[in-house]
Structure 1
Amino acid sequence: MKKMVLYAIVAFSSGLFFTNIYNSIVNAANWESNIPQSITATRDFFVVANPGTFFKLIDPTNMLLIVLALILYWKKSSSIRLVLSIALLCYVSSMILTFTYFYPRNEVMFLSAQLPGTETLKEVASDWGRMNWVRSLLFLAGLTCSFLALDNATSSTQKLS
């Protein structure tokens, strides 16, 4: 059961990391090209769902799994507790960054009633694209810690056998 939680964390963390990389390589690149038409097209396309729809489901689920794993491994292994705590810190930091940095820019680009001027959109889209790589690094650090926790759990199980 305990290791299954760690496997789930690695799966969810991988999904978050690679989806965020996709956003940088594909979405942000498209948003930054041919402004304001690219932003208008994105607004029209993201009517029902958008990348945030994915992150609002997977990110909190991943954090809950990390908290569950912390509880399960709290007394069992200080090394697992440490890397899971760092992973949780990375994901909490990414959520803080999302709410404080990305949501306001999403509002300007995609949700405001009136489309801002072209220069404003270019600046906001460029800022979004650059800063998303920072968020990707946070996801990568969290994913790395998740793998380390799983590796530590697997290694400690093998030593006991």
Structure 2
Amino acid sequence: MTAVLLTVLTAAATISFGGILAETAMLYPNIFRDPPASLVQAREFMVAGSPSDFFPPLGLSVIATAAASVLLTWRVPRVRWLLVVALAVYVCCEFLFSAWFFWPRNEIMFVDPVGTHSDEYLRAVAAEFNAAHWVRVIGGGVTAALAATGALTWYRRSVEARADRAAAAGAA
């Protein structure tokens, strides 16, 4: 059960990180090319789906599997602390920072009616958003690396325990 959950956590954290990288490389150059005109084009493009449809459910799965993984590995401090830090980094960089910093700017750029804000203000908000986005990129990378390291540490511990039991059975 623990190995499966750690695999799911590692996959979800890695997909989240990959999604953020893909968004950075493919969407952001178009979205932030020439605000406010590029913001209007982004609104028109992201009608059927957008990052806000993809990342919240994925983020919830990362948080839930990380929390469950911490509980299941609680008796193994090397693994537990890797997962606690992964969970803390993800919650801070992807959820709390996003809620505090990005969600209000998303409202300004993509929800408020076109023409509500001046062109200068939209350019400033877009520049802030684009610059601070690297917090999420780094947080996602750190989370994925820690989750993978935790999973591999758990796996190695399991293999070593099996080898020890086999050696003890062979010696008897």
Distance 1:30 1:55 in 2: 19
1:136 is matched with which residue? Answer: 137
Aligned to 1:47, the other structure's residue is in SS state coil
Residue pair 1:3, 1:150 contacting (<8 A) in 2 also:
yes
* CA positional deviation for 1:133: 1.1
Give the aligned partner of residue 127 of structure 1.
128
1:49 Cα offset (Å): 2.3
Once residues 70 and 34 of structure 2 are traced to their aligned partners in structure 1, the CA distance between those partners, rounded to angstroms, is 46
CA deviation vs aligned residue, 1:80-138 (integer Å, no higher than 9, x gap): 11000001101110200110111011011100023322211211111111111111101
Q: Which structure 2 residues correspond to residues 4-153 of structure 1 after superposition, within 5 A? A: 4-75=4-75, 77-93=76-92, 94-115=94-115, 116-153=117-154
2:83 partner amino acid: L
With 110-119 and 56-65 compared, the bigger mean Cα shift is at 110-119
Query: What letter is aligned with 1:48?
Result: A
TM-score by length of 1: 0.94
Question: Scaled by the length of structure 2, what TM-score is found?
Answer: 0.88
Q: Where does the alignment leave 5 or more consecutive residues of structure 1 unmatched?
A: none
CA distance in 2, matches of 1:113, 1:36: 12
Task: Output the aligned Cα RMSD.
Answer: 1.2
CA contact (8 A) 1:109 1:125 kept: yes
> Where in structure 1 do 4 or more consecutive aligned residues deviate above 6 Å?
none
* AA matched with 1:154: Y
Contact 2:7/2:151 (<8 A) preserved: yes
Q: Say if 1:24 and 1:133, in contact at 8 Å, map to a contact too.
A: no
Superposed displacement of residue 143, structure 1: 0.8
Fraction of identical pairs, as percent: 22
Aligned residue pairs total 160
Distance 1:11 1:148 in 2: 12
- Unaligned ranges ≥5, structure 2: 163-172
Contact 2:10 2:148 in 1 (8 A): yes
